[in-house]
Structure 1
Amino acid sequence: MANLPLPVMLTIETTSTESPRIVWLSSSKIQQTKEVKVELLIIEQDATQAEIYDLAFGDDFKIFVVDNMRGALEILEFNDIKIVVSDWQIGEHKASIFCDQMDVNNAYATPVVVVVSDEQDDETIRDAFNAGVSHYITKPYNIISFTETITGIKSQLERVSKMAQDTADSREVAKTALSQAAIYGNGMEIIAALNNCSDLESMAKATLSTLQSHGIHCAVQYRDEVVTSFDTDLSPCDPTMEKVFEVLHDQGRIYRFGRRLMLNDEHVSLLVKHVAGDDPVLHDAILDMGAKLIPAMNARFISLLQQQALEQTHGQIDDVLEKLRDTIGVMANEKKRIVESVTQKIEESFHQLAMTEEQEAFFLKLIEQELTLDSENDGIEDIDVLLKALSSRLAQRLEATKIKEEAPVNDFLDVELF
């Protein structure tokens, strides 16, 4: 035993009914603090046997050694013990106390209990297994076989731990993928909703309320001849936020400042003010989705402006047609009155020119034909026909592209892709 590493001794107080418990850790374990080892608890009253255990397992385990059950329970309470090696009964307590809290749904939630005992009767062994003991080894035992049993348990626990970690990692990856898919689904939902909007407020509502329902609080600004901004609740933006739009709307497609984000296009800017949750993967997904969403928002805004321009043009053409019809009517009546007046005056003056009746009739007919021809409105009527045709085509086109009214959507519609 002279070559054994010196143990580190820790004295733990106890009640007067029990002798002081000695807890010691392998010195080899102390020297390798960076390596995470499986924790092994040994309850052994024989100091020599305890040193043998340390010699056998000190390189592979983080070992705790106590000499009574109460000390063992305290070690279990404050450490992540995976394997317990104990006699079946020490003092008044049996090793079954380590199995009392065992979770039947998770066999690896409590330590693996290995009993090493002199008691060899079948009833005792049966009681141990019924209590939840995993291995029951009777003395004397083969040290090599015993060591292989303990290291085999360790290997099994490590495999289970790795499987659990792999499962957790897979779940995290799946969760991340679902979160990203949900964010992209939100973007698709917004784009689809924008196509059914007929004014800026409904466009802002379709965008901001959908994002808000998923914990993404934003504000949006539309710029044309007039600048219009909406906050998250569709109220006008305050002067401070307006200033943020003014300063950053021309700073590139994506501008990050602090925990905020500004997404810009020619006529539209989207300010991401706050995102519920601190998941960096979620933030990256929002950034990626936003970079693709903002051009679509800008294109829809331009399309809306074009639609409104066509509607205004159609209305103006109808106004021109109405005025043209009124003008043509007035001009026709005025020319008719002038022709009749001139014709009458010429007819009355013929007798002063000493013309025969045939000459008077000839000149009167000639003058009437010329005046009547000069009073025709063919050119104006052609313009009227063209404008009517243009108005009709515009009306048909506007009707074909008219956005149909739909039932109002809940402001906080929960859009889920899965």
Structure 2
Amino acid sequence: MNEKKHIIVVDDEELNLFLLEGILADEYLVTTVDSGASCLDKMNDIKPDIVLLDVEMPDMDGLETCKRIQEISECPVIFVSAKGSLQERLAGYAAGGYDYIVKPINGHELTAKLKLILSQESEKQSLKDNIESSYNTVMTALTSSSELGCILSFADKIHEAYNYKEVANLVLITMKQFGVETTLHIRGEIEKEYYSSNGICPPMEVEIMELLRHKGRIYDFSQRTQVNEKRISILVKNMPEDKEKYGRLKDHLPFILRIADGYIKNLDVSFKMLEQEKQLRKTVTQVNSQLVEVEKNLQQSNNMCFQAMNNLVDDFELRLEYLALSEEQENKLKEMVNSHTEKAVQTLENTDEINKTFSSILVKLRNLLE
């Protein structure tokens, strides 16, 4: 049986603590505290899996508490607040929040979010290890490279990417060279997806990136910067404190993103052409089958017509002697029958030409399929 996950609930209102504990107690171990300071004390004693944190509290508010939690733990923090404007959510995200829930709390929504976050956390480490492994490989090759060398390497290697995920991994690895943690949002025609150097993107991070996508090409807040292009956005979560490094990175980011955006556009064109080729091959195959059937039917019709004419001529000659006609009358009838028979044969020969045309078309279609 799986061990219950541990959740700390922080709120200065006793009623809120009682309600949240009632919602969570059946599925989780719940510890309730009434202040940020008490929460930090508990963090030293236990290692919770998630912290539910009220924003507005006396002495130490939720934002400050969250910042201090981030200094001692990687535990996800979900803010619980009666307010949910963009500025308040930005402040929560800047403080290190993982998600943001607006009161009154819906019990089903809360438990669903908790299950999703816990599931993502279980995947986070393995995904992070993959990024770290790729980073170490590239780091070995680029140990002595300058920042320009990183960018040139990125511009060269991106042409080896065959899908959005490979483009994202290359951008994330390149950003690792600059010593920053990043999240990407790629908006291709085939799919739209988020990618993070930490593995899984927190819901609040996804929400913030979507909101900032419409706030101009470059948006700075706190120690973070988001750069937007048409098909890709990048959020740098720990811009350098050194002013020179900060300035250089801010110059590099739009250039790197323009390269990535252009390549994503090329991928979209390639994907579209592949789909068109697939549909064309499917159509050609169908037309080929239909033409084969038409050719077969035409050949059968020709054979039947030739046989019918031969039978007609044979029957005519057999019955002619019973008509008691003069030799002159017989000759005229024979001439008339022969004349019409020759016309029918000519018509059938024209049909043979049609068959030959169909055969030529079939050969060309088969060549297209090879």
Q: Return the TM-score normalized by structure 1.
A: 0.44
Structure with greater Cα Rg: 1
Q: Which has the higher helix share?
A: 2
Q: Return the TM-score normalized by structure 2.
A: 0.50
